[in-house]
Every structure is written in C-alpha cells, then in structure tokens.
Structure 1
Amino acid sequence: MGIVIRDAAGKTLLCSWRALFRAWDAEETETIAATEGMRLAVEWNPEKAILESDCASVIQAFKCVGNLKSSLSFIVREGVEGSV
C-alpha cells in the first residue's frame, strides 16, 4: 500500500508505504490506504485535504459513511472518526 500527500501545487509533502497481509481484496486495501492517508494528513498537515483514489467505490463509501452497510463500513468509520 502506498500513500502520497501533495500540496495544492502538486509538490510531494509526504510519502509512505507498508505491506498489508490481512486485506480481503483490492477494495479493502484501497479503503485501508485511504484511512491511513487521512490519518497521516491530519498528523502532518494542518490544512484541509482532498482524498483521491482510483477506486470509485471507496470514494462513495467515504461520502455515505452514515448510511454505509458494506463490509468496508468499519474501516471507513474508523478513518473518518480518526481524522476529525
């Protein structure tokens, strides 16, 4: 899993990666990466951030966190609560 945090001009502010050994599929891996990226963004950058992903279902999950009933709901809620 890899994460890149950039500023508004596209300059790289932070890069991170780690191996995941317990993800069921690519969608879960993308959700974990988004959650970790949000945690890092809050910790290292006090400004507002935009979450980007190439997985439309992950973005939709974060948009509908209150009504989410998929297997990703626990990961998404953890990410949203941990980044506020």
Structure 2
Amino acid sequence: MAKPGSVTIADLICHIDHLCALGGERHIGFGSDFDGIDATPAGLEHAGQTQNLINELLKHYSEEQVRGFAYGNFTRYVSEIGKD
C-alpha cells in the first residue's frame, strides 16, 4: 500500500504512456470518484484538482488526446454502445 502523497501525477503519466504504447489511447478515461484507492497522488487529492493532471498531460500529449482522456473516449464509447 502506497503512503499518502508518495504517488505523483508523473507516475500516472508513466502509466498513461504505457497504455498508449500498447495501443490503448482511445480506451483511457478518467473518473472522479476515487473509489477503491487507499491513497491519492500528490496534487490530485480530490476531483477539484483534476486540472493539475490535465495541465501535466498537455505537456506530453496533444489537446485532442487529452480531451479524449478527460471525456471524449467515454462519450464516444457510450455513443457507440447506444447504436447496438
């Protein structure tokens, strides 16, 4: 179990990088409930700090990619399953 604050936004970006390298860019989506975690990343202790993550992502990814991670991939998925 990680100590509170020992995980950083940079650590999250490493995971996102890995998922993208595996071809999962269109399958990344962020939630805001923090359910099922024992500790939160430094700078992302609550949903109101999501912009901290967005700002860091914009240093590594295009605006279009970040919009996908933030909401676009989820809304696309919901739209696609609604067609079935």
TM range (shorter): 0.3 to 0.5
Structure number, greater radius of gyration: 2
TM-score normalized by structure 1? 0.36
Instruction: Report the structure, 1 or 2, having the larger helix content.
Output: 2
Q: Which has the higher contact order (CA 8 A, sep 6+)?
A: 2
TM-score scaled by structure 2? 0.36
From the two aligned structures, give the one with the greater strand fraction. 1
